Amino acid sequence: MNIQEAKKEICHTLKAYLMKDEHGTYSYPVLRQRPILLMGPPGIGKTAVVEQAARECGLGCISYTITHHTRQSAIGLPEISHRVYNDRKVTVTDYTMSEIVASVYDYMEATGKKEGILFIDEINCVSETLAPAMLALLQNKTFGSHKIPEGWILVAAGNPPQYNKSVREFDIVTLDRVRKIEIEPDCRAWLSYARANHVHRAVTSYLEMKKQNFYLVENSADGKFFVTARGWEDLSRLLDSYEKLGFEIRNEIIGEFLQKEEIARDFSAYYGLYRKYGQDYDFSGILNGTCTEEEQRKKEMAVSQGSFEEKFAVVNLLNGALDSAAAEYEKLEQFTETLYSQLLYLKSYLKKESEQDFRNRLDDFIQKQRQSLMVKVDMELISVGEHQLQEKTLKTLETYVNRVKGEHIRESQDGFDKIREYFREEVEIRDKETKKMETKLQRAFAFIKNSFGDGQELLLFITEITGSPVLVDFIAQNGCPAYFKYSRTLLGKNRERELQKMCREVLQ
């Protein structure tokens, strides 16, 4: 199965294993909770989908790369303990708790999450001294003499032997106690992930045309050559950063991520054209309406007469510009919603009786919220993006508090009414950006329609919009007459998947 199917199966398994009966007891027998063993080539996203599955199911997640551990850290250190057997005192060898098992208990205590995934990576590359402990873990969910806490599901991952000389084969007894899921590289599944995570449009548009270059691992007499999903995504992040900084992106840099000369050279050539078309057509000018009518007509004429590769790149560049604009709008929308939620909480907080001065209570509220945020950050319970959103929200609240203090307001209701007025300013900004985004969509459709009519480029454009979560989200909330008009005409009822497949086949 592909990596997205594997994530879906992990989510289903988590829900099945953690299902409870009417008494709040786990109904799935622990003895039958087979650990999931993900086997697949390197760099296809095994670790990422485990973390995504945990987040989507609202569970904790602790990851360990087992090759980084010694026997002592994995199963614990020996210690002498005293016991009584048949009225006779004896000394026996016991073991301290494994560092890995202890980390689960620490995580539970710090976060309050009692259920989660314990993820062990590179499990089939352990040293000879650790191999028996790994087998015991898979078979009994036990490290040394200590079990993984109830409510924690074991997921492991490994690479097939053709990719790693250190691999140890599992015997039939062990394999009969796990759920082994074989994962294969799948470009289409990865492209779906890539669009949702804003992977560089040059990468996604190139791989739409040349899916055969998505994944390759060769180990020949001439050397080791490989191109992986991890390499494409890491290259994407570097392209984004270098472009913002104005740094040159040389062929050698691309070759550091795509370690197959022919593919690196081919993508480098495509990327050069992609950048050129971006500069020639100035899509920000088209979307923002700063192009004159004459300039716009020239661009529409030029692309309509261009090569297939140029048309394909232009559609993707325009989609990329729209996607970026929608992503920025989504951040603003999330900020407005998060700020609104905080204000509701503040309103409830201020209603509680207190002898404190109103302004001091505002300060206390901000302080408590900041302390709560820092706990989440320290325990890695929120993403970098969520941290930035919460930080921006708190800073805005602090600004509101300072403005209220500056107006010498002392009564809670008067103060909150004033804060509500400040919030209306944010809502007005959001509403203006909504109108701007609606206009950008209209201009984008007009450019595509004027350039290509009802050709396959329009179908590709609509298909790419449909594959963008942020654009679909915006259209679902705010509408887009052109999208609904052309999608009904071109996609037809219940035929979107068929035509997406047709479009991909045309592009291959």
For residue 83, is pLDDT > 90? no
> What phi, psi does 270 have (nearest 5°)?
-65, -40
Question: Is residue 86, in this structure, part of any structural domain at all?
Answer: no
Q: Which of 142, 157, 184 is the last residue of a domain?
A: 184
For residue 429, is pLDDT > 80? yes
Q: Which of 127, 124, 128 is nearest to 178 (CA)?
A: 124
Q: How confident is the model at residue 72 (pLDDT cuts 50, 70, 90)?
A: low
- Can you give the pLDDT at residue 77? 66
Those residues with Cβ within 8 angstroms of residue 38's Cβ, 6 or more apart along the chain or in another chain: 6, 46, 50, 155, 156, 157, 158, 181, 183
**What pTM was estimated for this model as a whole?**
0.72
Q: What is the DSSP string of 183-237?
A: ----HHHHHHHHHHTT--HHHHHHHHH-GGGS-EEEEETTEEEEE-HHHHHHHHH
DSSP secondary structure code for residue 20 in this structure: B
Question: Is residue 168, in this structure, part of any structural domain at all?
Answer: yes
Note whether 215 and 44 are within 8 A (CB): yes
- If one counts every other C-beta atom within 10 angstroms of the C-beta of residue 32, the result is 7
Question: Is residue 389, in this structure, part of any structural domain at all?
Answer: yes
Separation between Cα atoms, residue 390 and residue 377, nearest integer Å: 11
Number of domains in the chain: 3
Q: Which of 66, 179, 85 is nearest to 133 (CA)?
A: 66
Q: How confident is the model at residue 499 (pLDDT cuts 50, 70, 90)?
A: very low
Same domain, 404 and 482: yes
Question: Is residue 309, in this structure, part of any structural domain at all?
Answer: no
Separation between Cα atoms, residue 450 and residue 22, nearest integer Å: 61
Same domain, 368 and 348: yes
Same domain, 501 and 475: yes
Separation between Cα atoms, residue 452 and residue 461, nearest integer Å: 11
Same domain, 390 and 468: yes
Same domain, 31 and 177: yes
Same domain, 178 and 229: no
Same domain, 480 and 371: yes
- If one counts every other C-beta atom within 10 angstroms of the C-beta of residue 118, the result is 25
Separation between Cα atoms, residue 407 and residue 416, nearest integer Å: 13
Q: Which of 493, 482, 475 is nearest to 442 (CA)?
A: 482
Separation between Cα atoms, residue 122 and residue 157, nearest integer Å: 6
Task: Of 73-82, 149-158, 179-188, 394-403, give the lowest mean pLDDT range.
Answer: 73-82
The CATH number of whichever domain residue 27 belongs to comes to 3.40.50.300
Note whether 141 and 147 are within 8 A (CB): yes
Separation between Cα atoms, residue 68 and residue 127, nearest integer Å: 10
For residue 217, is pLDDT > 50? yes
Same domain, 146 and 191: no
- In this structure, the strands spanning 152-158 and 36-39 are parallel
- If one counts every other C-beta atom within 10 angstroms of the C-beta of residue 294, the result is 8
Write the pLDDT tens digit of every residue in 417-428: 889 999 999 999
Owning domain of residue 36: 3-71+101-184
3 state DSSP class of 82: strand
Q: Which of 142, 145, 126, 121 is nearest to 61 (CA)?
A: 121
Side chain identity at residue 137, one-letter code: L
Q: How confident is the model at residue 69 (pLDDT cuts 50, 70, 90)?
A: low
- What mean pLDDT do residues 359-365 have? 84
Q: Which of 184, 199, 215 is the last residue of a domain?
A: 184
Pull the structure tokens for residue 317: 């560049």
- Can you give the pLDDT at residue 495? 47
Same domain, 33 and 156: yes
> What phi, psi does 21 have (nearest 5°)?
-85, -175
Pull the structure tokens for residue 460: 């590709």
- Of 257 and 361, the one with more pLDDT: 257
Question: Is residue 330, in this structure, part of any structural domain at all?
Answer: yes
- Rg (the chain; Cα; Å): 28
Write the pLDDT tens digit of every residue in 45-57: 888 888 889 988 9
The percentage of the chain sitting over the pLDDT mark of 70, rounded to a whole number, equals 88
- If one counts every other C-beta atom within 10 angstroms of the C-beta of residue 364, the result is 13
- CA torsion sign for 470, 472, 473, 474 is positive
Same domain, 396 and 479: yes
Those residues with Cβ within 8 angstroms of residue 156's Cβ, 6 or more apart along the chain or in another chain: 35, 36, 37, 38, 119, 120, 121, 123, 138, 178
Question: Is residue 292, in this structure, part of any structural domain at all?
Answer: no
Cα separation values, 279 from 200, 205, 250, 445, Å: 16, 17, 18, 20
Listed in order, strand segments (DSSP E) in 229-385 are none
Question: Is residue 209, in this structure, part of any structural domain at all?
Answer: yes
Q: Which residues of 232-241 are buried (b: 16+ CB within 10 A; e: fewer)?
A: bbebbebbee
Q: Which of 281, 307, 342 is the last residue of a domain?
A: 281
Question: Is residue 306, in this structure, part of any structural domain at all?
Answer: no
Separation between Cα atoms, residue 92 and residue 80, nearest integer Å: 6
Cα separation values, 291 from 129, 274, 295, 444, 491, Å: 69, 20, 6, 13, 31
Note whether 325 and 287 are within 8 A (CB): yes
Same domain, 191 and 177: no
Same domain, 178 and 220: no
Pull the structure tokens for residue 181: 């899921």
